[in-house]
Structure 1
Amino acid sequence: MADKAAEIGRPMKFPHTFTSKLVQFPWKHYFTNQWIWKYYAIAVVVSIPVFKKISNLANSPENVAKWAEIRRKEAAEHH
């Protein structure tokens, strides 16, 4: 069965479909030779604690209660 797959598996001279273009794209070359991928990973790791801290501040019980009170007053003004 593996011999059959090896016979069929030769690449097209020019890939016509989007899927064949994705398969033949040199992903490994770009991941190893371009700086953007390394810095993107570093930026994601560094920004996760910052966004977690912002989320904790925004969803604190005091802030939620303050938001609910503001919305209650706003709803009372309209009715």
Structure 2
Amino acid sequence: GRAMKYPYTYTAKLAQFPYKFIMDNIWSFKYYLIAAVVTIPVFYKLGKLSYNPENVRKWDEKRRKKFTPGHH
């Protein structure tokens, strides 16, 4: 189609965004994307470990002991 004078919708703005220019000329954007790709699996694994049923039971027991009335 023909080019718009002004991209009014968010989809049009995304379609006309200069991704190649940004990737080629702005180092922080490139490294942000690399860091996100590298760290997402790490945080996913940490989340799976922290919500493991055995770990949840262990922390419930620690909180129960800590917040029981009469415990100092």
Output the TM-score relative to the length of structure 1: 0.56
| The structure with more helix, counted as a fraction of residues | 1
After superposition, the CA RMSD in angstroms is: 2.6
Identity among equivalent positions (%) equals 46
Distance 1:77 1:42 in 2: 49
Superposed displacement of residue 63, structure 1 = 0.7
Radius of gyration: which is bigger?
Answer: 1
Distance 2:43 2:37 in 1: 11
The code of the aligned residue for 2:49 comes to L
Unaligned runs of 5+ in 1: 10-26
Distance 1:63 1:44 in 2: 27
Moved over 4 A (4+): none
1:56 to 25, 41, 48: 48
Deviation string for 1:32-52 (max 9, x for gaps)?
312221111111011000000
Number of aligned residues: 56
